[in-house]
């Protein structure tokens, strides 16, 4: 029965077999989840954030459980773009599923070099630019909190690659639509949102922060209403596809984002709770369409009635 419905969605030039992607940093480099998920069923795999050089990330403790979510301060630990292309990409290239490389840097030049490196690599369908990282030239303020700085960065990436560029927006801003509009004007083919919301937790016995980094990024169900509101605002403000992310644990959560205007979704923290979450969400979307007599998931996207 499930094959009777059409789950395909378009993210600009990219057509996905369904709208369910993995969220960067929560699904490793893909292969780690092969024992739990049929990777060929996913809409797309977004790999953990890649930098030019390998990075060890922050010292532990770097994860804390919170009410309905978690705080992480992993610090973007990764093996670096060269080892990714040499050691991890060959496995991913054997899949049918598009692979999206999430990238980050400390300067515009680092992002440019990452984009140029990836441009010539077969088997990477698109680049997702994480703009939530500190800009060392601007005293550590994140690229994604200033529209002009974010646009400058995205324009520089755009000039270095012909691949589709998605910009992953930070929620730690006053008006996310202003940033979204700026990065779209600078050449983003789509936007994904939200990244984690900055938070902290304190051990009252020791009177010390629970994270060695003091602050971290909040994710999971606790952030879903905020993410949903931002996706709805951004989907009305820009004319490129929006990818919704934040606290999606099941198909109903995913449907909320699609109805709010997202063309696809990313599943993050849920993978830690239930490694098969992505597949269950794909099945749940099919079941929903069948139940309501719809043929295509496209009928759902942006169908919110207010
Ligand atoms: C442990 C962890 C690592 C993450 N690493 C990255 C990353 O490397 N790049 C990125 O853009 N987002 C990263 N994120 C943010 C997620 O991709 C996602 O935007 C966020 O967690 C909200 O979705 P969720 O509530 O479904 O987890 C990370 C999140 C977590 C929890």
Q: Roughly what angle, to the nearest 10 degrees, separates helices 176-185 and 224-237?
A: 50
The answer to whether the CB of 220 falls within 8 A of the CB of 26 is no
pLDDT, tens only, 272-297: 999 999 999 999 999 999 999 999 99
- Exactly one of 44, 133, 147, 267 is catalytic; which is it? 133
In the numeric block, the tokens 């995913």 are attached to: 254
Catalytic-residue membership of 68:
no
Query: Encoding tokens for residue 304?
Result: 């919110």
Tell me which residues have their CB closer than 6 angstroms to ligand 1.
23-26, 48-49, 72, 74, 76, 102, 130, 168, 195-196, 219-220, 223, 245-248, 267-270
Give the count of beta carbons closer than 10 Å to the beta carbon of residue 266: 29
What's the gap in Å between 3 CA and the centre of ligand 1? 31
What's the gap in Å between 217 CA and the centre of ligand 1? 8
Does residue 97 sit in helix, strand or coil?
coil
Backbone phi, psi, residue 260, to 5°: -70, -10
Integer angstrom CA distances of residue 220 from 105, 137, 244, 249:
25, 31, 13, 8
What's the gap in Å between 268 CA and the centre of ligand 1? 6
Q: How far apart are CA 77 and CA 64, in angstroms?
A: 17
Tens digits of pLDDT across the chain (306 residues): 455 899 999 999 999 999 999 999 999 999 999 999 999 999 999 999 999 999 999 999 999 999 999 999 999 999 999 999 999 999 999 999 999 999 999 999 999 999 999 999 999 999 999 999 988 888 889 999 999 999 999 999 999 999 999 999 999 999 999 999 999 999 999 999 999 999 999 999 999 999 999 999 999 999 999 999 999 999 999 999 999 999 999 999 999 999 999 999 999 999 999 999 999 999 999 999 999 999 999 999 999 999
What are the structural domains of the chain? 2-57+74-198+218-299 (3.20.20.70)
């Amino acid at each position: 029965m499930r094959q009777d419905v059409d789950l395909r969605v378009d993210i600009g030039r990219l057509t996905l077999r369904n709208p369910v992607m993995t969220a960067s940093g929560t699904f490793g480099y893909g292969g780690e989840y092969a024992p739990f998920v049929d990777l060929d069923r996913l809409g797309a795999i977004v790999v953990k954030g890649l930098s030019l050089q390998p990075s060890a990330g922050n010292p532990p403790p770097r994860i804390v459980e919170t009410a309905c979510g978690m705080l992480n301060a992993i610090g973007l630990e990764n093996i670096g773009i060269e080892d990714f292309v040499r050691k991890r990409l060959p496995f991913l290239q054997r899949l049918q599923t598009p692979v999206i490389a999430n990238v980050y840097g400390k300067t515009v030049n680092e992002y440019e070099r990452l984009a140029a490196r990836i441009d010539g690599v077969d088997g990477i369908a698109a680049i997702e630019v994480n703009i939530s990282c500190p800009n060392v030239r601007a005293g550590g303020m994140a690229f994604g909190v200033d529209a002009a700085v974010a646009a400058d960065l995205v324009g520089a990436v755009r000039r270095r690659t012909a691949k589709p560029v998605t910009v992953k927006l930070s929620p730690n801003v006053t008006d996310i639509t202003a940033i979204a509009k700026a990065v779209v004007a600078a050449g983003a083919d789509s936007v994904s949102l939200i990244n984690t919301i900055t938070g902290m937790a304190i051990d009252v016995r020791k009177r010390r922060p629970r994270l060695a980094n003091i602050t971290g990024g909040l994710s999971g169900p606790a952030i879903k209403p905020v993410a949903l509101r931002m996706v709805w605002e951004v989907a009305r403000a820009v004319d490129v596809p929006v990818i919704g992310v934040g606290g999606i644990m099941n198909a109903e959560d995913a449907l909320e984002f699609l109805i709010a205007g997202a063309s696809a979704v990313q599943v993050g923290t849920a993978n830690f709770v239930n490694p098969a979450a992505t597949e269950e969400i794909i099945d749940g979307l099919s079941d929903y369409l069948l139940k309501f007599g719809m043929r295509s998931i496209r009928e759902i996207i942006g169908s919110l009635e207010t």
